[in-house]
Amino acid sequence: MRVLGIETSCDETGVALFDGEKGLLGHQLYSQVALHAEYGGVVPELASRDHVRKLVPLIRQLFQQTGVDSGSISGVAYTAGPGLAGALLVGASFGRSLAWSWGVPAVGVHHMEGHLLAPMLEENPPAFPFVALLVSGGHTQLVEVTGVGRYRLLGQSVDDAAGEAFDKTAKMLGLGYPGGPILAGLAEQGDPKRFRFPRPMTDRPGLDFSFSGLKTFALTTLQRESEGLVGEPLDRLKTDICRAFEDAVVDTLAIKCRRALDETGVGTLVLAGGVSANHRLRERVDAMMAERGGQACYPRAEFCTDNGAMIAYAGWQRLRAGQHEGMDFGIRPRWPMETLAAV
Ligand code: KG4
Ligand code: ZN
């Protein structure tokens, strides 16, 4: 079975072809970062319009890259939610129309299930059961995974997602957009000993997270320390704040992952979503898993952030099990992952 995947939930247009026998045949990605940069964040209406502009050329490129023609495609998967309603509608209506015209089934994929299954595209895929830490711009969740569609939510952020906290803190420091990777890059040069930020909600039991206080902590640190500073000393201060912020987020995530593994008795940890591209988080989790004698799995860096490959793969899993959409049409901007059907 060969599936075309379409991702348009936010600010990346992604398309990919996944083949049940040959694996991933190819993928194409267009990032709207330049489009939204001047506004300092994603403008939903601009995002939708750009998906409309980019889908056809990207799919043409994908067919050229892979040498595949539409006649060999047996299903279409598109992101049905969660995400920006207008952006989702573009991919959903496009995917459904293509499937209709090709006479093949279509399936709406849950964006976070796409992230969660992305490590399955790698050389050493994780075996069930595993604990997944999903860390993206919109979600921070710990999930016990016993199969495709078998998800038990263990904990989640009660306020900002980890990626959102990276982005907001970067914006507050005036670092530009998209903030997460820029802040992480600066943190590399920061002094880890200058400031120590709190590890929120680690002093009490439970697997929930709270990251919005760290952003405020970064702001008050900046205000307190920056008086009279300009030029290099001010840049150094910001760099050291980046390091303290990143260390706090990474440490907090790692502590909760360890707790989730202990509570479930599971030996494999999967990291997925944009923040799982963070080098320091990977180092920290690798060291922890080596110490425990367990396995840590991640997608390759380009599949940590939004992409079409993860949607093609998740859609293939569902279509090959006979799941597909009916005649009704809809998207699900809010969609709890625990409500998904098992495969
Ligand atoms: O999964 P994703 O591409 O989109 C959502 O589904 O939200 O995640 C994007 C998020 C952004 O908040 C971005 O700043 C963050 O992932 N991110 C990072 C890094 N790369 C991307 N955060 C920290 N360190 C990174 N290296
Ligand atoms: Zn995402």
Ordered alpha helix ranges (H), 188-302 = 212-225, 231-264, 279-292
Local confidence band at 177 (pLDDT 50, 70, 90 cut-offs): confident
CB of 40 sitting under 6 A from ligand 1: no
Closest CA to 52 of 8, 117, 107, 83: 8
CATH number of 128-298: 3.30.420.40
Domain ranges of the chain: 2-117+303-339, 128-298
Compute, in angstroms, the gap from residue 172 CA to the centroid of ligand 2.
23
**Nearest-angstrom CA–CA distance, 338 and 152:** 6
Q: Could you tell me what percent of the chain has a pLDDT over 90?
A: 99
CB of 179 sitting under 6 A from ligand 1: yes
* For the CA of 278, the nearest atom of ligand 1: 26
pLDDT one-digit tens code per residue, 181-240: 999 999 999 999 999 999 999 999 999 999 999 999 999 999 999 999 999 999 999 999
Compute, in angstroms, the gap from residue 46 CA to the centroid of ligand 2.
18
pTM of the prediction? 0.97
Closest CA to 139 of 120, 117, 105, 116: 116
- Let me know: does 8 contact 91? Beta carbons within 8 Å: yes
pLDDT one-digit tens code per residue, 112-157: 999 999 999 999 999 999 999 999 999 999 999 999 999 999 999 9
Is 90 exceeded by the pLDDT of residue 275? yes
Do 2-117+303-339 and 128-298 share a fold? yes
**Nearest-angstrom CA–CA distance, 267 and 296:** 9
CATH number of 2-117+303-339: 3.30.420.40
**Nearest-angstrom CA–CA distance, 284 and 251:** 8
How far apart, in Å, are the Cα atoms of 184 and each of 117, 163, 256?
A: 25, 11, 21
CB of 163 sitting under 6 A from ligand 1: yes
CB of 299 sitting under 6 A from ligand 1: no
Output the pLDDT for position 318.
Answer: 98
